[in-house]
Structure 1
Amino acid sequence: MAFPHPQRRKHESGQAAVEAALCMPLVVFMVLGTLQLFMLLQGRILAQVAVYRAVRAGSLNHGSCEAMTHAALVTMLPTVEHTRTPAQLADAFEKRRRNFLRVRGSKGTLFTEGPMVEIVRESPNVGWVRGQGQEDLLFDVPTDDPALLRQRTLEIRMVAWYYMRIPFADWVMSRMFLAQFHLKNYTNANPLNPAQKKSDWWADTDVELGPDDWPGGDLGERMLRWNAQGHYLFPLQVHAAMRMMTPLRASNFNGGAGCSLHGF
């Protein structure tokens, strides 16, 4: 029986090692990236539930920002901390009742700069609410006027900041998102293909990140700033509407349509 030449076996072994080294980053990302993506999808589902609970709380509490923010906060808590028991839930909420995210990343650093949620009331119109005096006294009077029905419908949009925490996947996906939304082009070595020394991650189509008039400011600017600090966040944007079940109060609209991030 003929055996392969020792030198040939050595070359084949070296080639296999090189191929493994080239493929390993992609394989690792496929595993960690899939896990991070499913966690992001879980956060999206929670955000949809959170915005519904928020608009319902506002409908029951005269359009109150505090009630809406706290309802959304409680729903989003599982994305930042264990809440398996009532005690854990109460502790997690107490740390964040002023709407600070407070979460540790994959490197163990604590992030407290950003809010957990931001809420803007698209309807009713702030000027109309203030024009009714302290409270809408005709709230219980039956009407078929579409304009009045519109003004007595609470419609909100909300952004829930999701903190990505899976090592390596958070870094790669954050750069993909920045490139996709035309926020920052990535031109360094491809982390998924070490042989490619220069990348060009940039979206060919115009993809909008969404409205910029949020209480905390421009979403893209904050994504860039936090990314540079090693914190990888993604804004989950959701929307909900519900007829008011209590009359609107002008005092709840003193700050305009947007809800204060931490002022309650």
Structure 2
Amino acid sequence: MHSKDRRGTAGGQSGQAAVETAIVVPMMVFMVLGIIQLGMVHNARLMTEYGAYRAVRAGIVNHGDCTLMEKAALAALLPTLPPLPGKNARVDTVEAAVDVHREFTRKLFAANQRLPFYQDVGLPLFRVEVLNPSGGLDELFSTYGSHMQGREIDYDDVRDERVIEANLLSIRLTYFYELRIPFANMQLHAFYLGREYLDQLKGMQFELQRVGGGNAIQYLQERARAKGGDFGRIVSLARNSGSQRHYVMPLVATWTMRMQSNLFNNDEHGPGRCVVGG
């Protein structure tokens, strides 16, 4: 009788342990995956800051050349770039980094054109925007570059505040970083959207809530899609009907430096091509 009681107790404890394991293990796996993905996001954010620095540094010594700023940003982001189909993404040696850089340059700058990386939705891999000087560049060139045939602005020109301000080059780098850790990528993508649109969702388990006939993640995606622009493109990538979905999070950094070369009036490569709203 006592041995049966012991067997029954042991069987009950074993069943309880199995249930507890089934509950705890998925949570632990999610935590580990989430920590890894957050670490990768933090690294990408640091490289975005470095990319903004490298881009503006290239601009101030190369007459505000937009194409050179974009290529400098690309080089800085190399360790965090997503793998190209059928290509090796490792950059742990100089030779490997050169190969990856060459492949991305070919894809992004073919025929001297800035091509979208996610061509199905028209989203770039990253975007370099000139915040300053912005607007009225033609007038600046004609007014302050008159002694240079209106082609450039002397970076040492200190005749008034307007030209002094124009010789501060300020850029914003937006890196559309692709989250790549399974399951954690979807959750962090939802958290990113939630940061913008959590006004109607409450609690830690907001993704389980039902809103407007759908779950919370679908609700967030629909609101982002309705906003349009980059939000709509990011949601389209995450809701791709094909087998390959991309969960993207924009990382933004700004940097400002004083020009150390003359701004050129060059529509093909000059700062006007990257001016916000230009």
Q: TM-score, normalised by structure 1?
A: 0.75
Q: Is there any run of 5+ residues in structure 2 with no aligned partner, and where?
A: 82-88, 110-116, 143-149, 218-223
Q: How does 1:154-233 map to 2 (within 5 A)?
A: 154-182=169-197, 218-229=229-240, 230-233=245-248
Partner in structure 1 of residue 105 of structure 2: 97
Structure 2 CA distance for aligned equivalents of residues 170 and 185 of structure 1: 23
- 1:31 partner SS: helix
Partner in structure 2 of residue 9 of structure 1: 10
**Judging changes above 3 Å, is the alpha-carbon distance between structure 1 residues 88 and 130 closer, same or farther for their aligned structure 2 residues?**
farther
The answer as to 2:24 corresponding to 1:30 is: no
Partner in structure 1 of residue 152 of structure 2: 136
Structure 1 CA distance for aligned equivalents of residues 77 and 277 of structure 2: 17
- 2:136 partner SS: helix
Which of these residues, 207, 210, 234, is aligned with residue 249 of structure 2? 234
Q: TM-score, normalised by structure 2?
A: 0.72
- 2:152 partner SS: coil
More helix per residue: 2
8 Å contact from structure 2 (residues 140, 163) kept in 1:
no
Partner in structure 1 of residue 84 of structure 2: none
Structure 2 CA distance for aligned equivalents of residues 163 and 117 of structure 1: 11
The answer as to 2:73 corresponding to 1:64 is: no
Structure 1 CA distance for aligned equivalents of residues 128 and 29 of structure 2: 37
Letter in 1 for 2:156: D
8 Å contact from structure 2 (residues 173, 252) kept in 1:
yes
| 55-64 vs 112-121, greater mean Cα deviation | 112-121
The answer as to 2:136 corresponding to 1:127 is: yes
Partner in structure 1 of residue 263 of structure 2: 248
Per-residue CA deviation, residues 31-76 of structure 1 (Å, 9 max, x unaligned), is 1111111111011111111100100101111111111000000010
Number of aligned residue pairs: 233
Q: Is there any run of 5+ residues in structure 1 with no aligned partner, and where?
A: 102-110, 203-208
8 Å contact from structure 1 (residues 49, 75) kept in 2:
yes
8 Å contact from structure 1 (residues 63, 249) kept in 2:
yes
**Judging changes above 3 Å, is the alpha-carbon distance between structure 1 residues 150 and 99 closer, same or farther for their aligned structure 2 residues?**
farther
The sequence identity of aligned pairs, in percent, is 29
The answer as to 2:272 corresponding to 1:257 is: no
Q: How large is the Cα RMSD of the aligned pairs?
A: 3.5
8 Å contact from structure 1 (residues 119, 259) kept in 2:
no
- 1:82 partner SS: coil
Per-residue CA deviation, residues 59-94 of structure 1 (Å, 9 max, x unaligned), is 111111111000000010111232222221221111
- 1:181 partner SS: helix
Partner in structure 2 of residue 21 of structure 1: 22
Partner in structure 1 of residue 127 of structure 2: 118
- 1:97 partner SS: helix
**Judging changes above 3 Å, is the alpha-carbon distance between structure 1 residues 98 and 157 closer, same or farther for their aligned structure 2 residues?**
farther
Partner in structure 2 of residue 107 of structure 1: none
| 60-69 vs 165-174, greater mean Cα deviation | 165-174
